[in-house]
């Protein structure tokens, strides 16, 4: 049987070399399942209301808990929590893809010097010999992990070996959030941590453009850097009108060019949408973009580069200049 990194670092019960769960949202059970695969002692740091900390403790995990003050973002505690977690020298950090969880995980990973992997599905410990005794090596065993992670909308599962320490981001399915309370024979303790937030919220107002329309849309037309100028956005708007579609874009169109509101970009760091039809125009199909359209029933694409990644996931594709294809599509739709 292989020894886990926790076993390799210290006696059972010692936290050093163990696994830490980072919790800031309701999807923590999926992350806990992954962490338990590590066969190390699992502890948790929870930023949120007391019932969240209690639920994690009820699953048998000792909890270090911070309750954000009114209007204080969970991320404001990232620095303080990272210091606490790093002091335990964890071999594994696990959290969800929730934005606050990612910030907390990233801060702790940076302090510990952990590698970061996204899309983790499971992890198992392996022990790697650093050199054979008598063969010039030390005969020591270095802790390491084998991780399976889902990529490209779950179409590909990659297996990765990594030495400890390692930080894993776990994608959470809706059913993980709905699961009832986990219980354990010996619930963990909840240890409150008094930490000063590093940031405060001054005001909370609705954004100029509510996202509801995009997330509920049956048809979405999105455009990317293939559109050459801001004036040309009108052409894509005409296509969206002809299809009765909501308009969306890739991240650089909103972030770098500012041609659409940031609430309109789709992808890992933007909106996750599930329309019946997603039509991408002049979007290359970077993995980070495709993460936002996993739920789309049908994907169609217009791109001049036949090798563009978007065509790997598209059900229908037109290889050509969007300035020719889109006007032709509009004409056909208006007939
Ligand atoms: C941590 C991280 C998170 C990220 N999160 C996101 C995210 O959430 N969402 C997101 O979108 N991106 C995200 N990105 C950026 C992502 O990696 C890509 O850089 C981005 O999606 C590319 O945008 P694009 O497809 O519009 O541009 P490009 O990749 O430049 O593609 C432009 C496409 O237009 C085509 N084209 C050019 N001219 C024409 C024409 N006349 N007719 C037809 N086709 C034409 C080209 O062939 C090309 O395929 C993230 C990156 C990182 C590192």
One digit per residue, the tens of pLDDT, for the chain of length 335 reads 333 443 443 322 334 578 999 999 888 999 999 999 888 889 999 999 999 999 999 999 999 999 988 778 888 899 988 999 899 899 999 999 888 899 999 999 999 999 999 999 999 988 766 654 444 445 566 678 999 998 765 667 899 999 999 999 998 764 455 555 555 668 889 998 887 777 777 776 665 555 558 888 999 999 999 999 999 999 999 999 999 999 999 999 999 999 999 999 999 889 999 999 999 999 999 999 999 998 899 999 999 999 999 999 999 999 999 999 999 999 988 87
Q: Which of 251, 253, 278 to mutate to test the pocket of ligand 1 (most atoms within 8 A of CB)?
A: 251
pTM > 0.85: no
- What's the token pair of residue 211? 């996202």
Residue 250 Cβ inside 6 Å of ligand 1? The answer reads yes
**Phi and psi, residue 53, nearest 5°:** -60, -40
User: Cα 97–38–183 angle (5° rounding)?
Assistant: 75
Please name the residue ranges forming H helices in 122-224. Answer: 174-178, 212-216
- HSE (side-chain half, CA atoms, 13 Å) at 44: 34
Does the C-beta of 265 come closer than 6 Å to ligand 1?
yes
CA of 163 to the centre of ligand 1 (A): 32
If you measure from the C-alpha of residue 291 to the centroid of ligand 1, how many angstroms do you get, rounded to a whole number?
13
Helix (H) or strand (E) holding 115: strand 115-117
Q: Is the CB of 317 under 6 A from ligand 1?
A: no
Residue closest via CA to ligand 1's atom 49 equals 284
Distance CA 108, CA 102 (A): 10
**Distances from the Cα of 109 to the Cα of 100, 123, 131, angstroms:** 14, 17, 27
Q: Separation of 324 CA from ligand 1 center, angstroms?
A: 20
Q: Is 162 in the pocket of ligand 1 (CB under 6 A)?
A: no
Output the pLDDT for position 305: 96
269 lines ligand 1 (CB under 6 A): yes
Is 10 exposed, middle or buried, given 0-12, 13-18 or 19+ CB atoms closer than 10 A?
middle
DSSP code, position 62? -
Phi, psi (degrees; rounded to nearest 5) at 265: -95, 150
**Pocket flag, ligand 1, residue 324 (CB < 6 Å):** no
Confidence (pLDDT) at 3: 38
Q: What is the pLDDT of residue 180?
A: 53
Ligand 1, atom 19, lies closest to the CA of 286
Element (H, E) at 95: strand 92-96
Contact predicate 102/27, CB 8 Å: no
Protein residue with least CA distance to atom 8, ligand 1: 267
Task: Count CB neighbours of 79 within 10 A.
Answer: 17
* C-beta 116 within 6 A of ligand 1: no
Write out the two tokens for 262. 């940031």
Residue 259 Cβ < 6 Å to ligand 1: no
Residue nearest to atom 47 of ligand 1 (CA): 305
Three-state secondary-structure class, residue 174? helix
Whole-Å CA distances, 276 to 137, 169, 230, 246: 58, 28, 27, 12
Ligand 1: distance of its center to the CA of 328 in Å?
23
pLDDT per residue over 183-237, tens digit each?
566 888 999 888 777 777 777 666 555 555 888 899 999 999 999 999 999 999 9
* 35 neighbors 108 (Cβ within 8 angstroms): no
């Amino acid at each position: 049987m292989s020894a886990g990194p926790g076993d390799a670092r210290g006696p059972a019960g010692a936290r050093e070399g163990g696994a830490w769960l980072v919790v800031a949202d309701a999807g923590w059970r999926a992350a806990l399942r992954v962490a338990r695969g590590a066969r190390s002692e699992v502890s948790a740091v929870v930023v949120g209301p007391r019932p969240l900390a209690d639920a994690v403790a009820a699953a048998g995990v000792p909890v270090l808990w911070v309750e954000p003050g009114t209007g204080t973002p969970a991320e404001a505690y990232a620095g303080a929590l990272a210091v606490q977690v790093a002091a335990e020298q964890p071999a594994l950090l696990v959290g969800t893809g929730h934005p606050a969880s990612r910030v907390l995980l990233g801060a702790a990973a940076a302090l510990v010097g952990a590698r970061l992997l996204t899309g983790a599905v499971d992890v198992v410990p392996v022990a790697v010999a650093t050199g054979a005794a008598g063969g010039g090596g030390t005969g020591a065993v270095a802790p390491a992990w084998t991780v399976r992670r889902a990529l490209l909308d779950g179409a590909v599962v990659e297996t990765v070996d990594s030495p400890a320490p390692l930080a894993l981001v776990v994608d959470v399915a809706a059913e993980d959030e709905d699961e009832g309370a986990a219980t354990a024979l010996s619930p963990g303790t909840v240890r409150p941590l008094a930490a000063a937030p590093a940031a405060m919220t001054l005001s909370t107002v609705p954004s100029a453009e509510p996202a509801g329309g995009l997330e509920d849309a049956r048809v979405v037309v999105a455009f990317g850097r293939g559109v050459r100028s801001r004036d040309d956005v009108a052409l894509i708007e005409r296509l969206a009108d002809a299809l009765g579609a909501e308009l969306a874009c890739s991240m650089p169109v909103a972030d770098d060019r500012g041609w659409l509101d940031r609430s309109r970009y789709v992808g890992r760091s933007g909106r996750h949408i599930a329309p019946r039809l997603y039509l991408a125009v002049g979007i290359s199909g970077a993995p980070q973009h495709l993460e936002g359209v996993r739920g789309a029933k049908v994907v169609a694409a217009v791109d001049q580069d036949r090798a563009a990644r978007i065509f790997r996931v598209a059900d229908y594709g037109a290889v050509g200049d969007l300035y020719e294809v889109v006007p032709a599509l509009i004409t056909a739709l208006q007939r």
